[in-house]
Amino acid sequence: MKATVLDASALLAMLFGEPGVEEMRALFHRAAAADRPVLISAVNWAETLYRVSGRQGETGLQSVRLLVAHGALQVVPVDAELAELAAAYKAAGSLALADAFAAALAKLRQAELITADREFKAVEKEIRVVWLKNK
């Protein structure tokens, strides 16, 4: 299984039962079977947490943190290399800052990026973007 990076929209689709939820569940099952966690940048993780907090409160936060605690999701810290590539994507003007971190992580890890956010069309020539259905 190829490395997989999520942006916040993909993880939120699963957490909130939005379109793409079944694809996301299947992804986590495949990743678990391959003993390979799904990756998310610390910036996209922060975005996920604040949105879950706003919608589901502490109960929701506890649930989403289990993905990391159980090893299904790996939060990748931001280092200088990741920050510089994200800054370059942001400077190009096509991505929001958090999305630039997701794209940068996918590029650096030579991973596919799963998203529901059409903003990533701007980088799909550089990285493999997998679109969640119905969004």
* Side-by-side strand order, sheet with 112-115: 73-76, 38-41, 4-6, 112-115, 128-131
> All domains of the chain, ordered by start, with CATH?
4-131 (3.40.50.1010)
Q: Both tokens of residue 69? A: 């605690």
Q: What percent of the chain has pLDDT over 70?
A: 98
The string of pLDDT tens digits covering residues 26-70 is: 999 999 888 888 999 999 999 999 999 999 999 999 999 999 998
What is the pTM assigned to this prediction?
Answer: 0.93
| pLDDT-based confidence at residue 135 (cuts at 50, 70, 90) | very low
Q: Can you list the pairs that 89-96 forms with residues at least 24 positions away whose Cβ atoms lie under 8 Å? A: 89/123, 92/122, 94/119, 94/122, 94/123, 95/119, 95/120, 95/122, 95/123
**Helices and strands counted in the chain (H then E):** 5, 5
The string of pLDDT tens digits covering residues 106-126 is: 999 999 999 999 999 999 999
What is the distance between the alpha carbons of residues 80 and 25, in angstroms, rounded to a whole number? 32
Q: Mean of the pLDDT values across residues 11-15?
A: 94
SS3 41: strand
Are 11 and 48 a contacting pair, CB within 8 Å?
yes
| pLDDT-based confidence at residue 134 (cuts at 50, 70, 90) | low
Q: What local confidence, expressed as pLDDT, does residue 32 receive?
A: 87
